[in-house]
Amino acid sequence: MLVEVWILLIALVLAIWKYVKVKTNFFNGRNCKHDIFFPILGSMRSLIFKNKSVMDVIIEIYEKAKGNKIYGVFENNKPSFYINDPELIRQITIKGFEHFVNHRNFLEGSGDNSIFGSSLFLMQNQKWKDMRYTLTPAFTGSRMRMMFQLIKDVATQARDYLRLQENIESGRDLDMKEFFTHYTSDIIASVAFGIEVNSLADASHEFYIFGKSLLKFGIIRSLKFFIAFNCTSLAKFLKIQLWSSNEINYFKSLVLDAMKYRTEKNILRHDMINILMEAKGMGVDENVKESLKSSHEWTDIEIVAQCFVFFIAGFESTATLITFVAHELMENPEIQEKLFNEITEVQKILDRKTLTYESLNNMKYLDMVISETLRKWPTTPGTDRVCSKSIHFKNPDGLGDVTINAGESIFIPFIGLHRDPKYFPDPDKFDPERFSDENKQNIQGFTYLPFGVGPRACIGNRLGLLETKAILYYLIGEFSIEPSVKSTIPLDLSGSLFQPKPKNGFWLKLRKRAEC
């Protein structure tokens, strides 16, 4: 028996040794320098051992790779090429896009209701192209103009909520991330689903509670994500789902019931659900049905999945962006005062009339403040692509040609580029003047990528920016943002894989301006 145990232990050690050797040798002969392979955690081990945020870890790897425009890393157990050179990024995302159309869909087939795996973000090849073409009309400038009134209504509702808070005249401490999450949730409910929620007044509303539960990554959900990302075959075999059947069924009912109701009542709203109804040929005149209907026969789960990912992105990413803006304005009161002055000028021009779409979008300094926030704190710190057809690059590092084979992946570290003093001098300084009319033309192409780049860039960036501008107009127009005793200064993010946040939360103090 003892002999068998020793044989088993030796076999296990040899298997582990062989596995590590295979991974370690992946970049040998590939003409690029690379990180040391660390089993299971790979190059992202600082997330666990040093409790660093994803943003900090990506910057750490970018700094380690300095001087290497292509650098080999291990995203957990998966080898990947870090692309640190703007010209190579241009080649991959624009010129060579057909070689790098897809993200890694590590959730495809992970369950009967793989709702996130069926979303636009993870769709692949022609199916992705068809869905992107289908959804694009929902995010045009003309559609944003139509949605503006709904967004403005929610923004003024949020402002009115703040007006009624106790001690707001002398200063009220608030968890701003929590506040802005209510705001973005109410907008998504309105512009996408036609539901009036007002979760600030009713924090127990099921739509808001549902959204919070979807984005709560506890131990079990985080473990499922880890298995799905690192052990794709096992995840598919086990049919792992990140979200429960109850959560998925709630969302399916929310979308499909809304479609059915609109069809029966002949209701037309210029929103995402209506676009998806048209793609299925629902709720439109028979004479134009065929011209609107997509060439692809979309399933219910594929239709629901688009609303699902739009919901998650709109709920969390936009709230995170607005929160970072608020924090930077708190740390930089002179910038906040300059923005307040611009808002005051717009209010004078409007002469007490309601805010217009044109007035909001013509606010140059507001746009500069948001652009600088997205540089310093991009809501997506990087992106991946999977090579679908082998491609050769002349290595800018002079180490010989680099071949990326079909099935291998690359990673573009947005935040590494954004924080590189070569492209943005004094990168830790919050300086909106980088994006003035005089200066923004000096920013090197493919170094500022807050919404991604190329055909696969974020489709909803216009909506996110419009939501951000609207709430800041009303917030800064009436309230000053000041440090709270709970504020994290300077901003130090906790070791969170999914949601960037300081260790103590985004606490700030709001004080009603005396002149308002």
**CA torsion angle for 500, 179, 513, 491 (degrees, to 10)?**
-10
What is the side-by-side strand order in the sheet with 507-512?
172-175, 507-512, 479-482
Phi, psi of 511 (to 5 degrees): -130, 130
- Angle (CA) 188 189 193, round 5°: 105
Instruction: Determine the straight-line distance between the first and last CA of the chain, rounded to whole angstroms.
Output: 84
- Which amino acid appears at position 426 of this protein? D
Task: Give the residue, 473 or 233, on which the prediction is more confident.
Answer: 473
The pLDDT mean for the chain works out to: 85
Question: Residue 461: CB partners within 8 Å, gap ≥ 6?
Answer: 450, 451
Q: Per-residue pLDDT averaged across 75-93, rounded?
A: 90
Q: d(Cα 8, Cα 16) in Å, to the nearest integer?
A: 12
Taking alpha carbons only, the member of 497, 388, 381, 456 closest to residue 131 is 456
For residue 39, cis peptide bond before it (omega within 30 degrees of 0): no
pLDDT of residue 473: 98
* pLDDT tens digits along 189-232: 888 888 888 899 888 888 888 888 887 777 777 777 777 776 77
Phi, psi of 230 (to 5 degrees): -100, -25
* pLDDT tens digits along 86-111: 999 999 999 999 999 999 877 655 44
pLDDT band at 112 (very low <50, low <70, confident <90, very high): very low
Contact between residue 512 and residue 360 where contact means Cβ atoms under 8 Å apart: no
Q: d(Cα 280, Cα 258) in Å, to the nearest integer?
A: 14
In three-state secondary structure terms, 502 is strand
Long-range contacts of 246-254 (CB under 8 A, 24+ apart): 247/210, 247/213, 247/214, 248/113, 248/115, 250/210, 251/115, 251/210, 251/304, 251/307, 251/308, 251/311, 252/300, 252/301, 252/304, 254/193, 254/307
pLDDT of residue 268: 79
**Report for 241-255, 352-366, 383-397: range of highest mean pLDDT:** 352-366
pLDDT band at 59 (very low <50, low <70, confident <90, very high): very high
pLDDT of residue 12: 54
Give me 13's structure tokens: 């050690």
pLDDT of residue 9: 61
Q: d(Cα 143, Cα 311) in Å, to the nearest integer?
A: 17
Domain ranges of the chain: 1-104+386-417
Taking alpha carbons only, the member of 224, 228, 151, 164 closest to residue 190 is 151
Q: d(Cα 236, Cα 241) in Å, to the nearest integer?
A: 9
Task: Give the residue, 244 or 344, on which the prediction is more confident.
Answer: 344
**Report for 260-269, 391-400, 427-436: range of highest mean pLDDT:** 427-436
pTM for this model (two decimals): 0.90
